[in-house]
Amino acid sequence: MATNPYEVEHNIKASEQRKNRRRPDMSSFSAHLHHMSSDPAHSRIGATPADSVALFQLVQDQMSTLAADAPTEANREFLLRLGNMLEEDIRNGADRIQGVDQTYLDSLDRVSRKKLQSDPEGACMICAEKFVDDPHPLVVELPCHSTHIFDLECVGPWLLSKGTCPACRHDLTKKKTVEIPKDEEEDEDVDGLYG
């Protein structure tokens, strides 16, 4: 059984792992992504169109695999919708789609175990595993909405390839801009009197 990065880092033995986990095995995705560029933080810079298509197809294959034995109809429909989006992106030029970088994934807000336990029915929208059933959850909250929480190993490949929230399609590659209200603009030092 494949182990996730958390289990490797914390030396969790195979006997401690739960059976029948639905988490996607994205080892091929990770290997292909790191093969595409010498800079692991920005793995898609300089990628060929064929490399980008292959990357999207690996994510699409995992979504299809998970959809085949989805525990609920809503989960199956969600996964099929994601797969269809990836298919459309492949047809329209996957190499033009910007994903987030690894630094972005590393900076995502982690969801505390206490918050996860406050909603015992809460589950990852991708793998449909209940967060509280995982003895070592690594769950992240996307900045677009406080209810868009996912297992990092499920949402990571999607974000690295597409850069949008799988739930609402919010573009996560754009930096937040702070708008200055008109009142504050007028108070600025127009004449350069202050240093």
What pTM did the predictor assign? 0.74
In a domain, 118, yes or no: yes
Sheet strands side by side (includes 139-141): 109-110, 139-141, 149-151
Give the model's confidence band at 136: pLDDT under 50 very low, under 70 low, under 90 confident, else very high. Answer: confident
pLDDT tens digits, one per residue of 81-132? 999 999 999 999 888 888 898 899 999 999 999 999 999 899 999 999 999 9
55 vs 191 pLDDT, higher one = 55
In a domain, 75, yes or no: yes
Query: Which phi and psi angles does 64 have, rounded to 5°?
Result: -65, -40
In a domain, 167, yes or no: no
The residue among 147, 129, 153, 114 whose CA lies nearest residue 29 is 153
In a domain, 191, yes or no: no
pLDDT value at residue 192? 55
DSSP string, 143-173: TT-TT-EEEHHHHHHHHHHT-B-TTT--BSS
In a domain, 144, yes or no: yes
| Mean of all residue pLDDT scores within the chain | 81
pLDDT exceeds cutoff 90 at 177:
no
pLDDT tens digits, one per residue of 138-172? 999 999 999 999 999 999 999 999 999 999 999 99
Which tokens is 55 given?
């990357």
In a domain, 129, yes or no: yes
Q: Kindly state the average pLDDT of the residues 6-20.
A: 60
In a domain, 136, yes or no: yes
In a domain, 186, yes or no: no
> What angle in degrees, to the nearest 10, is found between the helix axes of 152-161 and 27-35?
30
Number of domains comprising the chain: 1
pLDDT above 70 as % of the chain: 70
- State the residue range of the domain holding 151: 23-161
